[in-house]
Amino acid sequence: MPIETDVAVLGGGPGGYTAAVRAAQAGKKVVLIEKDKLGGTCLHRGCIPSKSLLKSAEVFAQIREASAYGIELQGTASVDWRMVLARKDRIVEQLHKGVQALMNMHNIQVIHGSGRIIGPSIFSPRSGSIAVELADGESETVVPKHVIIATGSRPRKLEGLPYDGKTIVTSDEAFGWDTLPRSVLIVGGGVIGVEWASLLSDFGTEVTIVEAAGRIVAGEDADVSAELARALIKRGVRIITGAKVDAASCRTDGDGVTLDVETNEGKVTLQAEKMLVSVGRQGNVEGIGLENTDVKTENGFIVVNRETLQTAEPHIYAIGDCIGSVQLAHAAIHEAMAAVTHLAGGRPWRSADRDIPRCIYSRPEAASIGWTEEAARAQGYKVRTAKIPFRVSGKALVHGHPEGFAKAVADAESGDLLGVHFVGPHVTELIAEVSLARLLDSSVWEVGQAVHPHPTLSEIMQELTLSLSGDVYF
């Protein structure tokens, strides 16, 4: 017999399991369908495991700098890569159990299998029922009143490269390296590429980044790109920008991988033990039965109403990476809440994409929200900016890492904050204040008047906005 339910969620990542919990809290009967493990890419192959590796790398780097804090160590510190991976696995498993407990707590039925939306049938006069192929070869049919597609994304691959999952890999396979590589060639200088470059270089790996654009993390403010590049280069990372990869030249042998790259100065041949390709992500929209519906896709992502998250079929919603907006876990969670609010009869609120915080967990960290200076000017704003270096922060000096800055972009006429950009210690924690300021449409004067504790890194936000409003100058 088919399983009848109010809401069927296809995909159990952060967006999917948040949607399931919210719907259950709204009194709906919920079925969640996941073909792999609850938690999705974020928990098992993305956010959480990468941050665990980054923390281990940070600790190793700090141990090497211990003498700067007056601490003398006996002997030489070394990396036990197996223990680094084991710590990562323990964290992932603990959180995985937490998500499973959350499903049980809210009486959400979880079906492990591959779900495919089917068209009108004996089960329902409209499309939206889901045929689920179970691991044991059996099948189930779920007949919901509403469907929420949350199938996520996967790493995009460069055509022509001989991927083998060991020497030439995406970020998915890099978590499975059983030894720490001596050298790595990273193709792609976006967020994922920069984070891997940071952690690997801190572990002592020789790293080269090859980026097609004129600068790394090209979507961020130019000052952010420049500061991150400076920090990585200082630690020995080689960065080649404006580069075109010759995929046909790529070769692997017992020593690793060789690749030719065209640059403004001519062809360069690069060699490394491993190659990590991080050139963006693509939506998981194939094989889920969209052809059996009126749901539209564009450039490989599902088209939705930007406020309600409905597709062309009003009872079918889509959220997260598969809709191609901001591909971040917290964006998917935010969209899940908006979609469930709407299907439950409420009035949804969805933040504009530019108001979703963007974080890079490298060393130093970077965090941004809103317009970059270039984008604000391109939008026709008369722009005022202020920039405060972290070297004026007592807490940053105490931390021993005063590199970086805080930068604000404001509308010169209204005083409204258009964007804020950080590079420095723990700035991924500081960006939430700016997110709240954007939500409340706070002026720079209002943020500057809020009392910030001393000594903290958060003070830099107060000094930044006071400087922008003309009260304080550095």
Q: Does any domain span residue 163?
A: no
CATH number at residue 252: 3.50.50.60
> Looking at the structure, do residues 149 and 174 belong to the same domain, yes or no?
no
464, amino acid identity: L
For tokens 């075109």, name the residue. Answer: 244
Q: Is 401 a catalytic residue?
A: no
> Looking at the structure, do residues 208 and 324 belong to the same domain, yes or no?
no
Q: What is the pLDDT of residue 261?
A: 97
Structure tokens that stand for 209 in this block: 């980044």
> Looking at the structure, do residues 150 and 72 belong to the same domain, yes or no?
yes
> Looking at the structure, do residues 150 and 187 belong to the same domain, yes or no?
no
Please report which confidence band the pLDDT of residue 468 belongs to, taking 50, 70 and 90 as the band edges: confident
Residues 393, 464: contact at Cβ < 8 Å?
no
CATH number at residue 402: 3.30.390.30
Reduced to 3 states (helix: H, G, I; strand: E, B; else coil), residue 269 is: strand
> Looking at the structure, do residues 93 and 33 belong to the same domain, yes or no?
yes
> Looking at the structure, do residues 174 and 145 belong to the same domain, yes or no?
no
> Looking at the structure, do residues 30 and 142 belong to the same domain, yes or no?
yes
Q: Which backbone phi and psi does 198 adopt, to 5 degrees?
A: -65, -50
For tokens 């004067």, name the residue. Answer: 445
Last residue of a domain, one of 353, 382, 405: 353
> Looking at the structure, do residues 248 and 286 belong to the same domain, yes or no?
no
Q: Does any domain span residue 445?
A: yes
Last residue of a domain, one of 279, 313, 345: 279
Q: What DSSP state is assigned to residue 206?
A: E
Structure tokens that stand for 279 in this block: 């050139």
> Looking at the structure, do residues 190 and 100 belong to the same domain, yes or no?
no
> Looking at the structure, do residues 239 and 141 belong to the same domain, yes or no?
no
Strands (E), 139-211: 139-149, 153-155, 168-169, 183-187, 206-210
Cα angle value 465/469/472 (rounded, 5°): 75
The closest alpha carbon to 403, from 364, 345, 351, belongs to: 364
Structure tokens that stand for 138 in this block: 């059996």
Last residue of a domain, one of 334, 353, 372: 353
DSSP letters, 375-390, are HHHHTT--EEEEEEEG
Write out pLDDT tens, residues 12-64: 999 999 999 999 999 999 999 999 999 999 999 999 999 999 999 999 999 99
Average pLDDT (249-274) is 95
Domain count, the chain: 3
Largest CA distance in the chain: 75
- Catalytic residue (one of 44, 330, 421, 454): 454
Helices (DSSP H) in 119-190: which residue ranges? 171-174
Q: Does any domain span residue 117?
A: yes
Sign of CA dihedral 14, 15, 16, 20: positive
> Looking at the structure, do residues 108 and 13 belong to the same domain, yes or no?
yes
Domain that holds residue 435: 364-468
Average pLDDT (181-206) is 98
Structure tokens that stand for 208 in this block: 């080269």
Question: CA-CA distance, 221 to 239, in Å (whole number)?
Answer: 18
Q: Does any domain span residue 377?
A: yes
Please report which confidence band the pLDDT of residue 445 belongs to, taking 50, 70 and 90 as the band edges: confident
Q: Does any domain span residue 83?
A: yes
> Looking at the structure, do residues 173 and 271 belong to the same domain, yes or no?
yes
Structure tokens that stand for 384 in this block: 């005022």
Q: What is the pLDDT of residue 60?
A: 97
Q: Does any domain span residue 35?
A: yes
Q: Does any domain span residue 59?
A: yes
- In sequence order, the 6+-apart residues with CB closer than 8 A to the CB of 238 are 207, 208, 209
The closest alpha carbon to 174, from 162, 186, 191, belongs to: 186
Beta pairing, strands 3-10 & 139-149: parallel
Q: Does any domain span residue 473?
A: no
Q: What is the pLDDT of residue 333?
A: 98
Q: Which backbone phi and psi does 155 adopt, to 5 degrees?
A: -60, 135
Write out pLDDT tens, residues 379-412: 999 999 999 999 999 999 999 999 999 999 999 9
Helical axes 47-64 vs 191-202, angle rounded to 10°: 40
